[in-house]
Amino acid sequence: MTLNRQSIHGEWSSRWAFVLAATGAAVGLGNIWKFPYIAGENGGGAFVIIYLICILVIGIPLMMAEIMLGRRGRQNPAATMASVAEESGASRHWGLVGGLGILAGFLILSYYSVIAGWALNYVFKAAAGDFTNASAQQIGALFSNLVASPWQLLFWHSIIMLTTMLVVARGVRQGLEKTIVFMFPIMLILLVILVAYSMSSGYFEQGLAFLFHPKFAQLSPEGTLDALGHAFFTLSLATGSIMMYGAYLPKNASITRASVAIAAADTGIALIAGLAIFPIVFANGLQPGAGPGLIFQTLPIAFGHMPMGRMFATFFFMMLVFAAFTSTLSLLEPSVAWCIERFHMSRVRATVIISSLIWLLGIGTVLSFNVWKNVHLFGMDVFDFMDYLTANIMLPLGGLLIVIFTAWFMRQEAKLDELQIKKGFIYYKWRLTMRYVAPVAILIVFLKFLGIF
Ligand code: TRP
């Protein structure tokens, strides 16, 4: 038995620290930047409903599974899956699924950092008063000038990677936990201030209708896959981020309650972000389907015309940077832990090596907005391709495999022991979902997308 295994990287100081860290990992650009723009591209309501269903029937059960696996294995996701499999009499090759996740996190961070860099740049733009009384064209030009400049993007991407590296190099308690406990509450306060403002803008109802009034006819199979992929992305699932954080979880915490709390907070914040953003979009006659530039090209127009807009805009982008930063930490940690364990190197060294590689890969995304604008992989530019490959393919696939492993291969006693629940209603419901509902749902979305179903 491997019950009293300890992680060599340490542990969170309490379960609250874990819940905060995991919520910080979950809440990020995915909620505030990506959710509104893909909801906008896919017509709103129907997309939002599919996304909510995915969170409920796939996201929460999978989150429980990942935390449980992590705490059982107490190692990097690849080693964790291999050893939990071994313990259950299954093949150690399940470790490859953990490996796929680590790779996905590595790839995601390479472009995530570039977008977080936009947000950081916008903190300075906002504070300098660049949006004040600016027209839509001027705001549009600010954004296009930024993304047209490879050197600027590289600079901000480098700052994000460098700071992420500095924190992760300090380790779980001194680095990750301290930073998250400081940043997360500030982010939350800033968000509340902004929603209060948005609710008073007068277009709140239009925003509400856009997000919750479903028009299923407008939702394509691709939109459905977007919604599924985004459910994984926004909860930080299937890359080992959550599994890794679970490995640092003290033994006594309730996994079920933590999972529900994290998912609820994450979903709540995405919807709040949507409700803060779309009223401003409609109040100014802007386009909800503007793509990745949505919040950068639309919100500053509104900020530029509101009383104390300079301050609010600065707050908004600061909030975005903090939210993104608690996520970049979670994206880097699994690769670093893997590197430390696999090659027996020091944390500092592993962090520097992995961060440099991710930084280098991120240059692909940097260039995709300018010099390589016309370089296409499968009909997508480098950024779109990386996003698509990870969020729409690697995450659902990795998630499916983790679900199958946990439901069908992991020994029941190990699961009950780790979840610390009785063989009762909650357990059977979870088991039923993991065995049938979640895998079938993922398969249907995939097959529908491939046109087979
Ligand atoms: N969930 C974060 C967001 O919404 C991003 C993120 C952090 C992530 N860790 C992850 C996405 C792991 C996928 C997998 O912004």
Q: What is the pLDDT of residue 2?
A: 46
Lowest mean pLDDT among 140-154, 378-392, 412-426: 412-426
The number of C-alpha atoms within 13 Å of 250 and in the hemisphere containing its C-beta is 11
* Angle made by CA atoms 226, 337, 102, in degrees to the nearest 5: 25
- Angle at which helices 255-283 and 15-26 pack, to 10 degrees? 30
* Residue % of the chain over a pLDDT of 90: 72
* pLDDT (tens digit per residue) in 212-232: 999 888 888 989 999 999 999
Any ligand 1 atom below 6 A from CB of 327: yes
pLDDT classification of 201: cutoffs 50, 70, 90: low
Q: What is the pLDDT of residue 129?
A: 96
Closest CA to 23 of 266, 210, 241, 253: 266
Q: What is the pLDDT of residue 370?
A: 96
- Residue whose CB lies within 8 A of the most ligand 1 atoms, among 58, 330, 394, for a mutation test: 330
Q: Which atom of ligand 1 is nearest to the CA of 241?
A: 12
Closest CA to 326 of 179, 109, 108: 179
Q: How far is the CA of 185 from the centre of ligand 1 (A)?
A: 19
Residue 71 in contact with residue 359, Cβ under 8 Å?
no
Give the residue with greater pLDDT, 408 vs 209. 408
Cβ neighbours for 308, distance < 8 A, ≥ 6 positions apart: none
Question: What's the mean pLDDT when you consider all of the chain?
Answer: 92
Indicate if the pLDDT at residue 3 is higher than 60: no
Rounded distance between C-alpha atoms, residue 301 and residue 364, angstroms = 30
Kindly report the CATH number that applies to the domain delimited by 15-449.
1.20.1740
- Residue whose CB lies within 8 A of the most ligand 1 atoms, among 58, 234, 266, for a mutation test: 234
Q: How far is the CA of 82 from the centre of ligand 1 (A)?
A: 23
Report domain extents, the chain: 15-449
Q: Which atom of ligand 1 is nearest to the CA of 104?
A: 14
One-character DSSP codes across 367-379 = HHTTTTTT--BTT
Q: What is the pLDDT of residue 4?
A: 59
Q: Which atom of ligand 1 is nearest to the CA of 390?
A: 13
Atom 10 in ligand 1: residue holding the nearest Cα: 236
pLDDT classification of 1: cutoffs 50, 70, 90: very low
What is the reported pTM?
0.94
Rounded distance between C-alpha atoms, residue 219 and residue 61, angstroms = 25
* pLDDT (tens digit per residue) in 41-91: 898 999 999 999 999 999 999 999 999 999 999 999 999 999 999 999 999
